[in-house]
Amino acid sequence: MARPYARRINDIEPFRVVEVLTRAKQLAAQGRDIVRLEAGEPDFSTAEPIVRAAQAALNRGETHYSQAAGLPELREAISRYYQRDYGLDIAPERIMVTPGASGALLLISGLLLNPGDGILMTDPGYPCNRNFFRLVEGEGQLVPVGPEDRYQLTAAKAEAAWRNNTVGAIVASPANPTGEILTADELRDLHTLCEQKNGHLIVDEIYHGLDYDEKAASILSITDRAFVINSFSKYFGMTGWRLGWLVAPPDAIPHLERMAQNLFISMSTMGQFGALAAFEPETRVILDSRRDEFKRRRDFLLPELQQLGFTLPHTPAGALYLYAGIERFGQTSADFCRSMLEEHGISITPGADFGRYRADEHVRFAYTTSMERLEEAVGRLRRLFA
């Protein structure tokens, strides 16, 4: 007789993009030509100055544990980044380096949620958020949002959805899977609502730097009482290094640090020394040129998909994605993605990965591959749908 596992495991949904990615790699290994548009991972290798800095750290013997909150010099570098890029004075003591943005979310979940508590989040939205909340016996409270809201959680929608067990809201700007941003006024309204409800506001800013037509506002310009999640994975292109950070209210830091001591002990020390170089002018020139290339890809792929019948009512302001309606094609999202991959060699992510609201009517394209491969994908789609 099988021994039982914890009931929460049954509520942790699969991360479907990983399943799609795995199948795409299997087909490629069989010799199929697969255009990879599923993963939200920049296709560029980590910028050379970062790699050199990490190699130098290894050569110096920097292979021991760092502090649980991160290297002091990296926390100071992140503080200077906020000063240079946003004009904000964020004390290094309010910043914690984490094992990816996921580590930051785990710490925040453990800090804010008692069993049975809930946090509002958009549907569609980043799928792992609700699974982190479930892991600590809380719940992600999905709020349906559509193109009329630019797929974002407004203060009015948050107020209408607030329940007796709601303790806060999490938003992302720019957002995954839609690429939409929240304006400074919209962030201010959400902060005001959370203050009125004696709740917490968490803002995922991991796609900051990948904002194309206007700079995304940071909640840190509005309040020091919100929690901010960020990452070295997206704009900084360090996905496999697994480094992120969080900014928290001063009174939260001792509790977060105590959890980090127990859960993580330390982040990759050599990775943190590499991340120090991410803020250097030489590196920023490289990263900004890559951002411009992502914008060029977005500006190519968006009108092509619209002409082929995909529904895209807005031009996404940032991130790496196009969240496209497939109503015209008469298939569920899962069936559409399966046929695109298995029959036509185009790997995209079904809407069901991002929530429930109209999920079967949407797919996500990630423009994280070269223009040449995007043109190949569009050529295949034209032969099918033009």
Res 219: pLDDT? 98
**Mean pLDDT for the chain overall:** 95
Rounded Cα–Cα distance for residues 209 and 132 (Å): 25
> Which residue has 């299997």 as its token pair?
26
Q: Say whether pLDDT at 27 is over 90.
A: no
Comparing CA positions, the residue from 109, 91, 96 lying closest to residue 220 is 91
Four-point Cα dihedral 10, 11, 17, 20, nearest 10? 30
pLDDT band, very low/low/confident/very high, at 221 (cuts 50, 70, 90): very high
Mean pLDDT of the 353-368 span = 94
Mean pLDDT of the 148-157 span = 96
Mean pLDDT of the 145-170 span = 97
Mean pLDDT of the 223-230 span = 98
Q: Name the residue with higher pLDDT: 19 or 146.
A: 146
Q: CB neighbours of 333 closer than 8 A, spacing ≥ 6? A: 326, 350, 351, 352, 359, 360, 361, 362, 363
Q: Is the dihedral of CA 185, 186, 191, 193 positive or negative?
A: positive
Res 9: pLDDT? 86
Q: Kindly give the interhelix angle for 16-29 and 333-344, rounded to the nearest 10 degrees.
A: 10
Q: Say whether pLDDT at 3 is over 90.
A: no
Q: Name the residue with higher pLDDT: 269 or 11.
A: 269
Mean pLDDT of the 81-96 span = 98
pLDDT band, very low/low/confident/very high, at 157 (cuts 50, 70, 90): very high
And the tokens for 272?
């943190």
- Among 26-40, 292-306, 311-325, the least confident range: 26-40
User: Which residue type does 300 have?
Assistant: F
Res 199: pLDDT? 98
40 CB-side CA count, 13 A: 26
10 CB-side CA count, 13 A: 4
Comparing CA positions, the residue from 351, 313, 308 lying closest to residue 332 is 351
Predicted TM-score (pTM) of this structure: 0.95
And the tokens for 152?
């974002």
Res 22: pLDDT? 86
Q: Say whether pLDDT at 102 is over 80.
A: yes
Share of the chain above pLDDT 90, in %: 88
Reported as a single tens digit per residue, the pLDDT across 104-133 is 999 999 999 999 999 999 999 998 999 999
Mean pLDDT of the 7-20 span = 80
Rounded Cα–Cα distance for residues 112 and 160 (Å): 21
Reported as a single tens digit per residue, the pLDDT across 277-294 is 999 999 999 999 999 999
Reported as a single tens digit per residue, the pLDDT across 174-198 is 999 999 999 999 999 999 999 999 9
Res 257: pLDDT? 97
Q: Say whether pLDDT at 44 is over 90.
A: yes
Q: Is the dihedral of CA 277, 280, 281, 287 positive or negative?
A: positive
Beta strands in the chain, from DSSP E residues, in sequence order:
35-36, 95-98, 118-123, 139-144, 166-172, 200-204, 227-231, 244-247, 321-325, 346-347, 349-350, 362-366
SS3 label, residue 350: strand
Comparing CA positions, the residue from 356, 132, 142, 367 lying closest to residue 229 is 132
And the tokens for 196?
């009125």
Q: CB neighbours of 137 closer than 8 A, spacing ≥ 6? A: 8, 113, 114, 115, 116
Res 12: pLDDT? 81
Res 13: pLDDT? 78
Reported as a single tens digit per residue, the pLDDT across 308-334 is 999 999 999 999 999 999 999 989 999
And the tokens for 352?
């069901």
Rounded Cα–Cα distance for residues 257 and 265 (Å): 10
